[in-house]
Amino acid sequence: MVSTSIIAFIIVLGILIFAHELGHFLVARLFGVGVEKFSLGFGPRLFGRTVGRTDYRISAIPFGGYVKMVGEEPDAEIDPEDIPYSFTHKHVFKRILIVAAGPFFNVLLAAVLFYGIFQFTGMFVLKPAIGNIQENSPAAQSGLKSGDLVTAIDGIAVESWEEMAALISKSGGRSLTVTFLRDEMARDLRLTPEQVVTKNLFGEDENRYVIGITASGESFTRSLNPIEALGASISQTYRVAELTVVSIAKLIQGSLSAKTLGGPIMIAEIAGQQAREGAVNLLFFMGLISINLAILNILPIPVLDGGHLLFFFIEAVRGRPVSLRVREIAQQAGLAVLLALMIFVFYNDITRIFFSNPV
């Protein structure tokens, strides 16, 4: 099991890093910037190959990667013949696109992975079939029974539990007509949803309208044509990105516990679990992590892509670069924040391993 987790972790991390750095590399070359190194990993070079002026290498420390461009450091001495290939000497909007290409390629990778899953394996759909019914709930009082399959709410056809739940939640408490199948016969009944306080994904209280039923767990796989799969992949990518942004905002606000953060150990553990469940699960997990990596990278923290973008946007507005001294101080602060975050997530991972399972 440990070996599976390690192998899955290396595969997931390697593909995500490659996609990210490939984005930087391709857009840099598109704008004529010279690339000196394309590295998967940090630290000493293990092996690689030099093509033209670019050293494509695998380095010893696998937690990351980088693209080293000509003139990447503003204070670096550049030979006059290299100025046309210098990153620093390119227009600020070209530099913005080069830096933004890394996170963009991670989002693109996720969308491609989701598309492949939806196109070749279809979409998992939870049926609107009733499992348990709460006592004294609107469903119990109206006569709904376990095993009934809901087919429409107020004449609007539903195929999934999600569609049915959304219509009930949006009812505002007004009376609804529920159409369902029982013993293969279609029937209708009227009921009025009740408002209850439930916990959302972040453990926060929210008011919802419900009828007091749970899902039976029955499901089916819906086949999608290429256009439907494309739409589903874009929708899935957007939902995951939105959830990631909201989660980060709630962490900053303090309404979501920092104990939920996980690091490489947690990723390796989950990757191993998904790998044992099958290739599709691992690919879906890879898509989720790829979007998370993209969004974390565009946070305005110096050292990350977002920090560089912040400086470039300031330069675009001011008409001149941020001073080297300010950038150096900001990068030192950003590095300190990043190191503190890494230590914290490692601590969370270790705490989960040794203290989360009482005996």
291-309 pLDDT per residue, tens: 988 998 998 888 889 999 9
Identity of the highest mean pLDDT range in 90-94, 242-246, 247-251, 337-341 = 90-94
Interval 138-161 mean pLDDT: 92
Interval 328-355 mean pLDDT: 68
* Residue 179, pLDDT score: 93
* Residue 124, pLDDT score: 86
* Residue 22, pLDDT score: 95
Quote the CA–CA distance of 326 and 332 in Å, as a whole number.
Answer: 10
Interval 313-326 mean pLDDT: 87
Residue 198: pLDDT above 80?
A: no
* Residue 168, pLDDT score: 93
Quote the CA–CA distance of 249 and 51 in Å, as a whole number.
Answer: 43
Average predicted confidence (pLDDT) for the chain:
85
Helices 279-297 + 264-277 axis angle, to 10: 150
Query: Which residues, 6 or more positions from 22, have their beta carbon under 8 angstroms from its beta carbon?
Result: 105
Q: Which is nearest to 214 in space by CA: 163, 165, 151, 169?
A: 165
Half-sphere exposure of 324 (CA within 13 A, CB side): 6
Interval 220-225 mean pLDDT: 90
Q: Which is nearest to 288 in space by CA: 63, 99, 41, 117?
A: 117
Sign of torsion, CA 100 68 58 348? negative
* Residue 34, pLDDT score: 93
Q: Which is nearest to 82 in space by CA: 37, 32, 39, 38?
A: 32
* Residue 356, pLDDT score: 46
* Residue 32, pLDDT score: 94
Residue 258: pLDDT above 70?
A: no
Interval 112-140 mean pLDDT: 92
Interval 230-237 mean pLDDT: 94
Is 21 assigned a catalytic role?
Answer: yes
* Residue 346, pLDDT score: 59
* Residue 61, pLDDT score: 83
Residue 151: pLDDT above 60?
A: yes
* Residue 158, pLDDT score: 93
Residue owning tokens 């989701």: 114
* Residue 277, pLDDT score: 73
Binned at pLDDT 50, 70 and 90, residue 119 comes out as very high
How crowded is residue 266: how many other Cβ atoms within 10 Å of its Cβ?
Answer: 16
Catalytic residue among 21, 162, 194, 242: 21
Q: Which is nearest to 127 in space by CA: 91, 169, 103, 158?
A: 158
- Output the pTM of the full model: 0.83
* Residue 358, pLDDT score: 40
Quote the CA–CA distance of 302 and 294 in Å, as a whole number.
Answer: 15
Gyration radius from the chain CA atoms: 26
Residue 262: pLDDT above 90?
A: no
State the chain's maximal CA–CA distance in angstroms: 84
* Residue 54, pLDDT score: 93
Residue 354: pLDDT above 60?
A: no
Interval 157-186 mean pLDDT: 91
Binned at pLDDT 50, 70 and 90, residue 76 comes out as confident
Residue 228: pLDDT above 70?
A: yes
Q: Which two tokens stand for residue 97?
A: 């696109």
Quote the CA–CA distance of 357 and 122 in Å, as a whole number.
Answer: 36
Residue 270: pLDDT above 50?
A: yes
Binned at pLDDT 50, 70 and 90, residue 257 comes out as low
* Residue 320, pLDDT score: 87
Task: Determine the residue type at 10.
Answer: I
Binned at pLDDT 50, 70 and 90, residue 359 comes out as very low
Under a CB-based contact definition with an 8 Å cutoff, are residues 93 and 313 in contact? no
